Amino acid sequence: MGPKIKQLRDVTVIDLAEGPLLVVACDSLGAIGPKENDLVRVPGYVVGRLTSRVGLLEVMSTGARPLVLINALAVEMSPTGEEIIAGIKDEVAGVGLEGDLVITGSTEENVPTRETGMGLTVIGAVERENFRVGSSMPGQLIACIGVPKVGAEVSLDDPETVDLLLLKTLLELDYVSDIIPVGSKGIGYEAGVLAATAGLKAAFDTRLDLEKSAGPATCLLTSLWPDKLEDLARAVDRPVAAVGRLIGG
């Protein structure tokens, strides 16, 4: 029999029957960068940091350790590609993955480009018993960590948005069940996905905007028991708010 391949939320899970599960995440970016036709003007370094952060958050939130990061850059190597790759390398180094993670990719050297574009793929591996997707239970809270932001609202090291170091902290908390990054579809959509992967539904009770895009995964959702919400707020240095509860499907 060949490998079993499943699409679970924003990751693809490959079960090779023996050994760890492989977890694959992809992200893309367009018209954001330093080029003349970009609609949101930011340095290539920031593009590399934030785009790689999304893919790494998606893989690591499942419990997997990233093994390979592939960047497909629709820009020339010098100077824009070099700036983006520098951002990717610093994002990886900032969370202590540089010794284990292979970074590879390609650039556009055949035609000049006037708008920034890139795709990014992260491949990781996780032992089956450590795979977190679908680990939520009825009665648990869904909590949001960070604030949804998009476009020009987003900046590096914003104290209201999440990063990889914060995710590492969450992964070490034994009272945290599932974790899912929030992207362009908003908190409400991702809460529904978190619930559905455990065969549950989300019952919302919040003043948060459930539909606002969180851009490059500026916030995360997690499931935990209600009496642990204050512990979570003390453990992380980001805004924490309850979104709703998980109920039977």
| Sequence letter at residue 81 | G
Map out the domains of the chain with their CATH numbers.
4-130 (3.30.1330.10), 141-248 (3.90.650.10)
- For 9, the token pair is 């939320």
Q: Quick: pLDDT tens for 120-163.
A: 999 999 999 999 999 999 999 999 999 999 988 998 889 999 99
Q: SS3 for 139?
A: coil
Rounded CA-CA distance 219/147 in Å is 5
Question: Does the predicted TM-score (pTM) go above 0.75?
Answer: yes
CB atoms inside a 10 Å sphere around CB 15: 14
Rounded CA-CA distance 142/69 in Å is 30
Of the listed ranges 13-17, 68-72, 242-246, the least confidently predicted one is 13-17
| Residue 216 contacts residue 161 (beta carbons within 8 Å) | no
What dihedral do alpha carbons 232, 138, 197, 170 form, nearest 10°? Answer: 10
pLDDT-based confidence at residue 249 (cuts at 50, 70, 90)? low
